[in-house]
Structure 1
Amino acid sequence: MYRSHVMVCGGTGCTSSGSDKIAEAFENQIRTDGLDQEVRVIRTGCFGLCALGPIVVIYPEGSFYSRVKEEDVAEIVNEHLLKGRPVTRLLYDETVENGQVKSLDDTAFYRKQKRVALRNCGVINPENIEEYIAFDGYAALGKVLTEMTPDEVIQCILDSGLRGRGGGGFPTGLKWKFASGNRGQVKKYVCCNADEGDPGAFMDRSVLEGDPHSVIEAMAIAAYAIGADQGYVYVRAEYPIAVHRLQVAIDQAREYGLLGKNIFDTGFNFDLEIKLGAGAFVCGEETALMTSIEGNRGEPRPRPPFPAVKGLFGKPTILNNVETYANIPQIILKGADWFASMGTEKSKGTKVFALGGKIKNTGLVEVPMGTTLREIIEEIGGGIPNGKKFKAAQTGGPSGGCIPASLIDTPIDYDNLVAIGSMMGSGGLIVMDEDTCMVDIAKFFLEFTVDESCGKCTPCRVGTKRLLELLNKITDGKGTMEDLARIEELADFIKSNSLCGLGQTAPNPVLSTLRYFRDEYIEHIQHKRCPAGVCKALLSYKIDPTKCRGCTLCARTCPAGAISGSVKNPHSIDVLKCVKCGACIEKCKFGAISKG
C-alpha cells in the first residue's frame, strides 16, 4: 500500500511539453529521499486542462500542480510528500482560495462537466489492467455474458438513446440491431473508428491513451450482441502513444482471458486486432475505412448495401467510434435510464469536445448534451483572452459550420446544430475572436478537404477545387458579387451529388460563413478590404507620422527594404515594395504602424 500517488499526465499534449522527464524526475527524487516504498508515480491519460501541462496531481489530497518544471520536482517532493505542505505557488491558481486548497471539481473548468466517456482518464494507469478492473472494468462484459441475452443488450442500448459520437449521430442500438440477424450462421465483424482526423480534434486519441480497456470491453459487448467473433480498431499511425497503450491493453486482456476463446467460461469467443491508418481523412468514412482494412486504397463505396448488411470483407459489420464505445460499459452497469436522464429529448448523455482556438482553457471537456455554447466558452473555457470579443465557434471540423456570436446561447445537441447550419461532428470546437477573417476560415477548411479528397467522384474531386478557386479569387481582391451566387450553386451541387460524407459536407463551412457573415464577403468584394486584417492581398501598411519617433527599428527589420526615413524623423512605407509580412508591426514599440 502506498500513502501517496503522484499522477503525471501522460497524454500527447503533456508528453510533448516534457511530462515524461517530469515523471522520471519524481521517480529519482522519491528514490533519493527514501520514499519509494511509500509514494508511487503513475503515468495517466489526459486530465483535460491541456493548456496547463505538464500536469501533476497528488492523491489523496488531490493537489493539482500545473506547468510543472523539472526544477520544481525536488521542492514538491520535499515540501508536499515529506512534510505534508502543498506548494501553493505551483498549484493551479483556481484551486487555491484564501490560502486553502480546494477540490478541482469546484473550479470553473470542471464544475459543469459530467465525465462518462472520460471517467478514467487521468485517474488510472492505462497500461495496468488491474487498475481498470478496480474501477468496475469488465464487470459490464461479465454481466452481459452471464445475465443478458444479445437482444436484451441491444434493447438496453436502444433504450439509453445513445447516438453515434463520430459525427452522423445515428442511433447506436439501431445499428447493432440491423447487424444482429443470423447470429452464429454468418461471419460478422465489429470495428472501431479511431481515425480521428478533424483539425483540432483529439477526443478519441485521448480516450485510447487514458482508458483503452473501456473500448476493448465495449467492442466485446457489441460482438456478443450481434454475434461476431473478430474486431478491428482502425487507428492513425500518427498516434504512437494511443497505439502503444491500446496494444498493451489488448495483450493484457488476452492474458486475463477477457479476449480470445471461451470468455468467462460462457463459450463466447472474441478477439481484436489493430489496423494502422496512414492519415487519410477520407478513411474516417465507414466504407473507406473498411476498404482500407481489407488492404485496398481507402475509397468509399456506394451505399446501399450498408455495412450492417455487407461491410468488412463483404460480411455484416458494425462500426462505431471510440467515444461511442467508451459509453457502453457504463450504460450496461448503470442502466439505460441513467444514461437517458442526461442530455436532451433527442440527444441523450454527454459529449466530449476538444476545445481550442482563441480560448483561455484549451483542452478536453465533457458536458451533458444541451449545455449552451455560452456555458462552454465563458464558464468552462474561461472566455476569450486579451480582452477580445467572441466572434464565432466552429463545430464539426471540415464537415461542420461556424456558429456566430448571436447564437451563443444555443443548446448544443445534434438537431440544434444542424438547424443552424453546423453539425456535431466528432467533437472539435474551435473558438474564434474578432481578429478572425471568416472568409479565410472557410478557405482553410476547404483547402483541407480538397487535399484530403480521395478523388473517386467528380463532384468532390473537381467541385471542391472550383469552390476553393472562387474563395481565393475573393481573398485576392478579384471577386465579384456574381461569385457569391456561383459559390452557393456549386456548394449545393457538391452536397447533393458527392459519393460520401466527405464531399457531401465539404461546403458546410463555406455556406455557414456566407449565411452569418455575408457582410465580410461583401467587404472583400466591393471594398477590397479584409475587416479582420488577415487576407494579405487586401492589406496595406501605414505609419502614423504623429506616433513615429524615427527609431529606424522598422526599417532595419523590413526584409524588402520598403521602409525609409532618417533618424528621429517619421518614416514611410513604399506600398509597391511592401510584402505585407507584418514584421514592422511586431517590432514597432510606439504603435505607429497599422494595417487595414
Structure 2
Amino acid sequence: MNTEAKKQVFICAGTGCISSGANTIIDLMNVEIERQGLAKDVELIATGCRGFCEQGPTLVIEPAQRFYRRIQPEDIPELVEKELAQGEKVERLFYVDPQSGEPALSYEDISFFAKQTRIALKNCGFIDPTKLDDYLAHKGYEGLKKALTMAPEAIVEEVKESGLRGRGGAGFSTGLKWSLCRATPSDKKYVICNADEGDPGAFMDRGLLEGDPHAIIEGMLIGAYAIGADEGYVYCRAEYPLAIKNLQIAIKQAEEAGFLGNNILGSGFNFHLKINAGAGAFVCGEETALMASIEGKRGMPRVRPPFPAQSGLWGKPTNINNVETWSNIPHILRNGAQWYAQYGTEKSKGTKIFALTGKVNNTGLVEVPMGMPLRDIIFDIGGGIKDGKKFKAVQIGGPSGGCLPEDMLDLPVDYDTLTKAGAMVGSGGLVIMDETTCMVDIARFFLNFSQSESCGKCTPCREGNKRMWEILDRITRGEGREDDIEKLETLAYTVKETSLCGLGQNAPNPILATLKYFREEFEEHIHAKKCRAGVCSELLTYSIDAEKCKKCGLCARNCPANCISGNKNTPYVIDGERCIRCGSCMDSCKFGAVIRA
C-alpha cells in the first residue's frame, strides 16, 4: 500500500460487486485517473468484500471517508474530476438512509457500518487481499510471531480465556477443542479449515476468504503450533472460485515470505497448507463427512466417538474450525484474551458475522457483538423492512435454524438464548421476512433444502425429512388433513433425536419453530383452506368487484386461461373452476377491481 499517495480509492472487488460490474469500474477508473494526470496523487486499491453488497459496486475515498455506491461507468469521469482532482462531493452517488432520507457524508455516518463492531472483518474492504504487504501493514502475522515465543499450552489457555466459541454453528469452546487434540499423543496431527459454506443466502466465509485470506492462514498456523500439527487443509467449495484464487495467492506469498513451510521464521516449526475443493455437498460441512471427502471417499458422516480430536483425518488427531473461527485467532493472540472477552456476553464472547438478507433495506455482511438484540440488527443496521411492509419473522441459523416472531425481536443474539427460543446462531444466516411471507411455505422451503442435501446414510434423516416435506407440500396445496400437525411434530422430534449427524438432527428446527410461533397459519391452511400471505396459489380465489370494474377488459386480455368473460357493457367475471390462480388479472387491473381471498 502506497501511504505516500495523497488520496486512496478503495473499490470493492468481492464476488457481489464483481457481479454488479466492479471490474469494469476498476479498469475505467485507472484509465480516467491516468487521463486526468492524477496517477502520482491517487492510489487505486481493489479490495475484498466491504459487506454492503446490496449497494455495489461501492467505492470509498480516503482520507475523506467518502462512500459512493452503485457506481456506473458513466459516473467515472465526474468522480475523478470532482472528487479526486478538486475534492468536491458527488452527492447524487451518496448512500441515502431509507428511514431518515438523509444522505451519508461519510461511511461512518451510515448506520450499516457505524453500528457494527468489526474484528474478523476488520481488514475486509481496506486491503488488497492479493498483496502480502497490505496485510503486514495492518499488523498481519504479528499474532503468529507472538505465538512462536509462547509455550503451546499457553496459547491454548489464551484461546480458552478469550471465550471464543466455534463460529460454524455448534458453538463449542475453541480452546477446549484445541486442548483435547493437543492432549492426544500421535506422530502426526492435522488442522482443517471448514470453508464448505452451503447455507442458502450465506456468504460469511466467502467474504473472509476473498477479502482477508492471510488472516485464515495465520489463524491456522497459530492453531497448528499450539496443537502440534504440521499439515493442514482448507476445504472450500468449488463454487467459490475467487475465494480459492485469493487463498492460493496468499499461500504462495506466505511460503515465499517464510510464514509457511519448514522452520517458520527460524522457530523450528514446520507447517504446510493445502486447498481441497469440495463438490458442493451440504453434508460435507459436517466434520466427519468433510474428512471423508478429503480422503477421497464419499462425503458421509460417521458415528462418534471417536471424535476427530482422537481419530480424524486418516485416523490421526485432527482439529477442525470454520473460517470465521480461524480468522479471530490472530486478533486474540495479538491483543490478548481479555481484549477479546470485553465484547459479547458472559457465555458468548466476541463478535459474530451474519449474512443479512431477505425483506430488509440493507443487505450484506454484518459483524456485531454477541448479545446485540435482533431488533438493533434488523432495524438499525438493516435499515428496517423494505417498501414499508410489516415485519413478520426472522429466520436465524440457516436452513437448520428457526423462525422467530416480532415479539422476540428484543432477544439478545447469543448461543444459549437463541437455542432456548427454538432457533440457533448457526453459521450466521439471517433471513428477514415481511407480511407477504407464508410461514408454512417457508418451512417447506427450508425442509426441501435439508431433505435434498441428506446423504441418505441414516433412515431418520433420509426418510423422515422426506415424509415431513410431503406433508408440508400437501398442506400448501390445500390438501391438509386433520392430523397433519400432530404427525409433523411426532416426525420432527423423532428425526431430531435419532439422526446420525447435525444435518438430520437440526433439519426439523424450521418446522418446530414455525409450529410454535405461527401455528395458526398451519391451522388456517388445513381447516379454512386459506393462505393469509397469498403465497400458496392453490388456496387462493380471485373475483372481480362489479362496482369497481371499469369494463376495460385488461384482465381478460392478460388471462392465460381465458377464464374471464365480460364486455364494455357488462362487468367482467372470473370463472373459478377454470382459474389457474396465476394472479395476472390482479397485476393487470389498474383500478383495484380484482380481489384475492
TM-score for the superposition, normalised by structure 2:
0.97
Aligned-partner residue type, residue 136 of structure 2: I
Partner of 2:393: 392
Partner of 1:432: 433
Displacement, 1:243?
0.9
Partner of 2:536: 535
- Measured in 2, the distance between the counterparts of 1:583 and 1:231 equals 56
Displacement, 1:317?
0.4
Match of 2:47 among 29, 37, 44: 44
Displacement, 1:94?
4.5
Structure 1 position 404 matched with structure 2 position 401: no
Displacement, 1:100?
9.2
- Measured in 1, the distance between the counterparts of 2:103 and 2:55 equals 20
Displacement, 1:536?
1.4
Q: 435-444 or 538-547: which moved more?
A: 538-547
- Measured in 1, the distance between the counterparts of 2:359 and 2:505 equals 28
Structure 1 position 26 matched with structure 2 position 52: no
Displacement, 1:437?
0.5
Match of 2:119 among 116, 119, 133: 116
Partner of 1:489: 490
Displacement, 1:98?
12
Q: 261-270 or 571-580: which moved more?
A: 571-580
Match of 1:166 among 165, 168, 186: 168
- Measured in 2, the distance between the counterparts of 1:266 and 1:25 equals 46
- Measured in 2, the distance between the counterparts of 1:475 and 1:560 equals 22
- Pairs within 5 Å for 1:515-554: 515-554=516-555
- Measured in 2, the distance between the counterparts of 1:568 and 1:150 equals 88
Partner of 2:250: 249
Partner of 1:128: 131
- Measured in 2, the distance between the counterparts of 1:295 and 1:560 equals 52
Aligned-partner residue type, residue 531 of structure 2: C
Partner of 1:6: 9
Q: 343-352 or 46-55: which moved more?
A: 46-55
Partner of 2:508: 507
Structure 1 position 299 matched with structure 2 position 300: yes
Partner of 1:79: 82
Displacement, 1:181?
2.4
Partner of 2:152: 150
Displacement, 1:213?
0.5
- Measured in 1, the distance between the counterparts of 2:529 and 2:122 equals 51
Partner of 2:357: 356
Change over 3 Å in CA distance of 1:400–1:30 after alignment to 2: same
> For 1:318, what is the secondary structure of its paired residue?
strand
> For 1:8, what is the secondary structure of its paired residue?
strand
> For 1:268, what is the secondary structure of its paired residue?
coil
Kept in 2: contact 1:259–1:272 (CA 8 A):
yes
Partner of 2:180: 178
- Measured in 2, the distance between the counterparts of 1:594 and 1:13 equals 39
> For 1:344, what is the secondary structure of its paired residue?
coil
- Measured in 2, the distance between the counterparts of 1:71 and 1:558 equals 41
Kept in 2: contact 1:548–1:569 (CA 8 A):
no
- Measured in 1, the distance between the counterparts of 2:568 and 2:68 equals 50
> For 1:446, what is the secondary structure of its paired residue?
helix
- Measured in 2, the distance between the counterparts of 1:416 and 1:101 equals 35
Partner of 1:480: 481
Kept in 2: contact 1:343–1:368 (CA 8 A):
yes
Kept in 2: contact 1:126–1:245 (CA 8 A):
yes
Displacement, 1:99?
10
Partner of 2:377: 376
- Measured in 1, the distance between the counterparts of 2:307 and 2:300 equals 15
Partner of 2:275: 274
- Measured in 2, the distance between the counterparts of 1:239 and 1:254 equals 23
Partner of 2:582: 581
Change over 3 Å in CA distance of 1:99–1:52 after alignment to 2: closer
Displacement, 1:568?
6.2
- Measured in 2, the distance between the counterparts of 1:572 and 1:177 equals 73
Partner of 2:322: 321
Displacement, 1:93?
2.6
Change over 3 Å in CA distance of 1:481–1:160 after alignment to 2: same
Displacement, 1:275?
0.4
Identity of aligned residues (%): 58
Kept in 2: contact 1:551–1:568 (CA 8 A):
no
> For 1:120, what is the secondary structure of its paired residue?
coil
Q: 551-560 or 47-56: which moved more?
A: 551-560
Partner of 1:230: 231
Deviations 1:507-544 (A, max 9, x none): 00000000000000000011011111111111111222
Kept in 1: contact 2:94–2:105 (CA 8 A):
no
> For 2:183, what is the secondary structure of its paired residue?
coil
Deviations 1:549-571 (A, max 9, x none): 12222222111112222136421
Kept in 2: contact 1:392–1:402 (CA 8 A):
yes
Deviations 1:149-182 (A, max 9, x none): 1000000000000000000000000000000025
Displacement, 1:313?
0.9
Aligned-partner residue type, residue 132 of structure 2: I
RMSD: 1.5
Deviations 1:337-384 (A, max 9, x none): 011111011000001110000100011111101000110111111111
> For 2:366, what is the secondary structure of its paired residue?
strand
Partner of 2:556: 555
Match of 1:88 among 91, 112, 116: 91
Partner of 2:240: 239
Change over 3 Å in CA distance of 1:336–1:433 after alignment to 2: same
Displacement, 1:438?
0.3
Displacement, 1:480?
2.1
Partner of 2:447: 446
Displacement, 1:583?
2.0
Kept in 1: contact 2:96–2:102 (CA 8 A):
no
Aligned-partner residue type, residue 224 of structure 2: A
- Measured in 2, the distance between the counterparts of 1:79 and 1:421 equals 53
- Measured in 1, the distance between the counterparts of 2:337 and 2:398 equals 30
- Measured in 1, the distance between the counterparts of 2:296 and 2:7 equals 48
- Measured in 1, the distance between the counterparts of 2:250 and 2:287 equals 24
Aligned-partner residue type, residue 173 of structure 1: G
TM-score for the superposition, normalised by structure 1:
0.97
Aligned-partner residue type, residue 402 of structure 1: C
> For 2:161, what is the secondary structure of its paired residue?
helix
Deviations 1:452-477 (A, max 9, x none): 00001111011101111111121121
Kept in 1: contact 2:11–2:60 (CA 8 A):
yes
Aligned-partner residue type, residue 209 of structure 1: E
Displacement, 1:268?
0.4
Partner of 1:60: 63
Q: 81-90 or 582-591: which moved more?
A: 582-591
- Measured in 2, the distance between the counterparts of 1:302 and 1:473 equals 34
- Measured in 1, the distance between the counterparts of 2:73 and 2:83 equals 16
Change over 3 Å in CA distance of 1:100–1:378 after alignment to 2: closer
- Measured in 2, the distance between the counterparts of 1:262 and 1:583 equals 69
> For 2:355, what is the secondary structure of its paired residue?
strand
- Measured in 1, the distance between the counterparts of 2:177 and 2:490 equals 34
Q: 79-88 or 285-294: which moved more?
A: 79-88
Deviations 1:116-155 (A, max 9, x none): 010000010000010000000001001111x211000000
Deviations 1:473-527 (A, max 9, x none): 2112121231111111111110111110000001000000000000000000110
Displacement, 1:327?
0.7
- Measured in 1, the distance between the counterparts of 2:103 and 2:361 equals 24
**Can you give the 5+ residue segments of structure 2 that lack an aligned partner in the other structure?**
none
Partner of 1:69: 72
Aligned-partner residue type, residue 202 of structure 2: A
